[in-house]
Amino acid sequence: MYACIDLGSNSFHLLIGEWEAGRIRIIERCSERVQLGAAVGSSGVISTAAFARGLLCLQHFKILMDQYPLQQYWALGTNTFRVTANADDFIVSAKKIGVDISIISGVQEAVLIYAGVITMLPLADAHRLVIDIGGGSTEVIVGKMHARLLTESLPIGSVAWRDQFFNNDLAQVPELEQRMDAAATAAKQVFDGFAPAIRNLGWSEPYASSGTVKMLAAICEYEGYGIARISLQALQELKTKLAACIANCTELAVVKERRRDLLLPGWSVLVGLMQSYGIESIEFSATALREGMLDFMVKNEKTLEAMAQSNLPDVSYANK
């Protein structure tokens, strides 16, 4: 039995699973919104409040992990750990709790995301475009079966875009729509840098993962646009309604209160991405980094040598 801890810029996630009859069986999963990456773009550090929230979450995770006969666990720090000056301080504090954290690069993160997404897909002789919109970074991969043809990590995410374009000021619908358009345009400019390479490779099956995408897919389904799929047309048609939801502080049935602040920045990042890469419709993937971590641990017999051979250097996992 294995545990994977994904320390994202918005949420921390714990996944516990085991290998059974040739497949991974999920035993336990939980998530806590920590917002470790809040205001990191302007300050360059994990704030005191976010630092404390993160450690408290890891204490909860440790208590839960101790209830299972784990062989090993793997805790990975993503974008916020890569860009903050006090990330090492957090790692030292986490070690005192009993959780050893490794920092992975954006490309390493993308490798594991792709592995996680394809775990639930049938083998197919097609180029797949895989996107994961995180809080501080977005990973973009083009692959064919288990081979990756392009792997990139871009400095754009829902938390970062919230801090840059959507502050806490009260705003009316027209202003919010203007901010959404400006944020989407800025996002498109970021994604445009790799658009030529993606077009040259070509793809026929686009998939997107993360909590932001899950939220937008749920909204599209609730509004009658289809199940587990997001179209660019739907996002554009829903723009005013989403802005009104925030401006008027009204509820949207499928949006959790704790994710409301990421609704408009998440919309902006995904719209910019879809416009840049010419995506008319994209399918939501419920599996991503955590499932990729678990898949990797099981299939590679938990050795550092195997990790190096799989282009994941300089990261380690711990015996329980």
- Report the run of H or E that residue 13 belongs to, with start and end: strand 11-20
- Do 155 and 275 fall into the same domain? yes
**Residue 125 is assigned to a structural domain of this protein:** yes
- Do 149 and 278 fall into the same domain? yes
- Do 134 and 226 fall into the same domain? yes
Among 24-28, 32-36, 101-105, which stretch is predicted with the lowest mean pLDDT? 24-28
Closest CA to 132 of 236, 228, 264, 269: 269
pLDDT of residue 306: 45
Q: What percent of the chain has pLDDT over 90?
A: 73
Our count of domains for the chain comes to: 2
- Do 147 and 212 fall into the same domain? yes
- Do 137 and 226 fall into the same domain? yes
Q: Which amino acid is at 252?
A: L
- Do 205 and 149 fall into the same domain? yes
pLDDT of residue 305: 43
| pLDDT tens-digit map of 261-283 | 999 999 999 999 999 999 999 99
| pLDDT tens-digit map of 8-21 | 999 999 999 887 77
Which sign, positive or negative, has the C-alpha torsion 320, 105, 149, 121? positive
| pLDDT tens-digit map of 117-175 | 988 888 778 899 999 999 999 999 999 988 899 999 999 999 999 999 998 667 899 99
- Do 71 and 149 fall into the same domain? no
- Do 125 and 265 fall into the same domain? yes
pLDDT of residue 143: 93
- Do 202 and 251 fall into the same domain? yes
| pLDDT tens-digit map of 180-209 | 999 999 999 999 999 999 999 989 999 999
**Residue 212 is assigned to a structural domain of this protein:** yes
- Do 67 and 29 fall into the same domain? yes
pLDDT of residue 264: 96
pLDDT of residue 309: 44
Distance CA 46, CA 197 (A): 34
**Residue 114 is assigned to a structural domain of this protein:** no
Q: How many C-beta neighbours within 10 Å does residue 144 have?
A: 14
Range of the domain at 58: 2-107+288-319
The first and second tokens of residue 224, run together, are 């009658």
User: Considering the entire predicted model, what is its pTM?
Assistant: 0.88
How wide is the angle at C-alpha 36 spanned by C-alphas 307 and 41, nearest 5°? Answer: 100
| pLDDT tens-digit map of 59-98 | 999 999 999 999 889 999 999 999 999 999 999 999 999 9
Mean pLDDT of 205-217: 94
**Residue 116 is assigned to a structural domain of this protein:** no
- Do 129 and 213 fall into the same domain? yes
**Residue 113 is assigned to a structural domain of this protein:** no
- Do 87 and 137 fall into the same domain? no
Q: What is the CATH number of the domain that holds 245?
A: 3.30.420.150
Distance CA 31, CA 119 (A): 21
177: pLDDT confidence band, cut at 50, 70 and 90?
very high
**Residue 315 is assigned to a structural domain of this protein:** yes
Q: What is the CATH number of the domain that holds 93?
A: 3.30.420.40
pLDDT of residue 249: 81
pLDDT of 247 above 50: yes
**Residue 112 is assigned to a structural domain of this protein:** no
pLDDT of residue 317: 53
